[in-house]
């Protein structure tokens, strides 16, 4: 994989990379009860950039994991990093934001804790699914325009016996025939690893019920399996996922494997497509999303620690749904912005087209308080993807009003 030097990148890129290198641990962290720990390093970096006089930590309480190796011991950025961030900020005063007018929207589009979004278009309605939060195993919201969302009841209120509660991550749904298949990550009791399951429902909003009584895929020797994403190409179905190697100091890979016609079992052997082996990806890659545009396959993914400003989005071009794939030299194509207001940790993307055939990237980013602290909530954002010379160019992250889809 190749990482190109990018002269157009701001000081923020340097800040993000240094913050990531200085922060210990792996991707998703908390105690076993689901109460996540403060991420001191990333909060100080954000606070220094937005309000240097308000450097403090906040409690992160969104996504849960058994990888509690680093909690309050994250290392704060060095003075040079803080100074660089502060120098890149033009003012410590809060900037006024323009309000959207008729036919416009403004990010974020869903201001509730809605991490790791996956979106399904069913008829003229969009359904967004997200990682567990208080009172819901699988969050689901509904919209007709990608902008105004109604949060519905739990899409999967009853978890199967093979799982432990509070560890249900990154759900994605595909319609297969007259059924809806939900691919979700959950904690496997037997191995105590995150594994991928599949559930079905007659309706896109659920209630989904586990279809197998066991994980669909669980790479225990590689740390477990997370972030499953289905993809259809012609008559064939595929599943993309990540081995959770960063839970236990192992490399992380993005895998592809063919699905059976009913979406409930896997065919053949998995193929490795992408590995974390460039600087911006840090200790991990995750959240694979395969997309086909003009007969070219694009594998979008996120890299680095989800709870830091270094979390970002990149892509690879692939010869087929099963690879081989080559990283884009422009990576990352979506990253944190040192601006007013800041955008912190954009990632775990999905892609959807609107009624006009335009492409939109849906992702989460951390809420930042007026004091410049990263809170415990991740909001849902959308931005348009424009295709130029066979390359996806993101119009964002945007914080100003934009035309609605």
Residue 341 phi, psi dihedral angles, 5° rounding: -80, 155
Residue given tokens 């594998």 in the structure block: 299
For 81-133, the pLDDT digits (tens) are 323 343 344 333 344 578 888 999 999 999 999 999 999 999 999 999 999 99
How far is residue 2 from each of residues 53, 68, 348, measured CA to CA in Å?
A: 39, 32, 21
pLDDT reported for residue 79: 30
- Work out whether the CA dihedral 18, 19, 21, 27 comes out positive or negative: negative
Give residue 305's pLDDT band: very low, low, confident or very high (50, 70, 90): very high
Q: How many CB atoms lie within 10 A of CB 234?
A: 7
The answer to whether residues 130 and 139 touch, using CB atoms and an 8 Å cutoff, is yes
The answer to whether residues 309 and 303 touch, using CB atoms and an 8 Å cutoff, is no
pLDDT reported for residue 70: 26
pLDDT reported for residue 96: 58
Q: What stretch(es) of the chain map to CATH 2.115.10.20?
A: 104-403
pTM over 0.75: yes
Homologous superfamily assigned to 104-403: Glycosyl hydrolase domain; family 43 (2.115.10.20)
391-394, strands of its sheet edge to edge: 344-353, 359-368, 374-388, 391-394
For 240-258, the pLDDT digits (tens) are 999 999 999 999 999 999 9
């Amino acid at each position: 994989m190749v990482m190109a030097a990018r002269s157009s990148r701001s000081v923020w890129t340097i800040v993000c990379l240094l913050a990531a290198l200085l922060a210990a641990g792996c991707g998703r962290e908390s105690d076993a009860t689901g109460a996540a720990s403060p991420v001191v390093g990333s909060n100080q970096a954000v606070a220094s950039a937005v309000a240097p006089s308000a450097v403090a930590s906040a409690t992160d309480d969104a996504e849960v994991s058994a990888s509690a190796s680093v909690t309050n011991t994250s290392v704060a950025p060095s003075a040079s990093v803080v100074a660089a961030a502060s120098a890149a900020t033009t003012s410590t005063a809060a900037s006024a934001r323009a309000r959207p007018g008729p036919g416009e929207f403004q990010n974020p589009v869903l201001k509730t804790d809605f991490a790791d979004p996956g979106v399904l278009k069913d008829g003229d309605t969009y359904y967004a699914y997200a990682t567990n939060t208080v009172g819901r195993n699988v969050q689901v919201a509904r919209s007709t325009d990608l902008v105004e969302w109604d949060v519905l009841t739990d899409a999967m209120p009853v978890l199967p016996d093979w799982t432990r509660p509070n560890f249900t991550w990154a759900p994605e749904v595909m319609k297969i025939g007259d059924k809806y298949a939900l691919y979700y990550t959950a904690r496997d009791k037997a191995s105590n690893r995150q594994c991928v399951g599949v559930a079905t429902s007659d309706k896109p909003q659920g209630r989904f019920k586990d279809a197998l009584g066991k994980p669909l895929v669980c790479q225990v020797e590689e740390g477990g399996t997370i972030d499953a994403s289905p993809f259809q190409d012609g008559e064939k179905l595929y599943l993309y996922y990540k081995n959770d190697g960063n839970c236990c100091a192992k490399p992380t890979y993005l895998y592809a494997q063919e699905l059976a016609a009913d979406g409930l079992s896997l065919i053949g052997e998995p193929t490795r497509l992408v590995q974390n082996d460039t600087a911006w990806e840090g200790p991990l890659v995750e959240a694979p999303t395969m997309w086909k545009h003009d007969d070219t396959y694009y594998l979008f993914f996120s890299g680095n620690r989800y709870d830091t400003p270094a979390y970002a989005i990149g892509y690879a071009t692939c010869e087929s749904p099963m690879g081989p794939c080559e990283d884009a030299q422009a990576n990352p194509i979506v990253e944190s912005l040192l601006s007013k207001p800041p955008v912190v940790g954009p990632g775990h993307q999905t892609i959807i087209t609107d009624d006009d055939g335009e492409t939109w990237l849906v992702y989460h980013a951390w809420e930042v308080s007026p004091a410049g602290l990263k809170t415990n909530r991740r909001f849902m954002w959308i931005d348009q993807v424009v295709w130029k010379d066979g390359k996806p160019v993101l119009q964002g992250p945007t914080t100003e009003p934009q035309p609605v889809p």
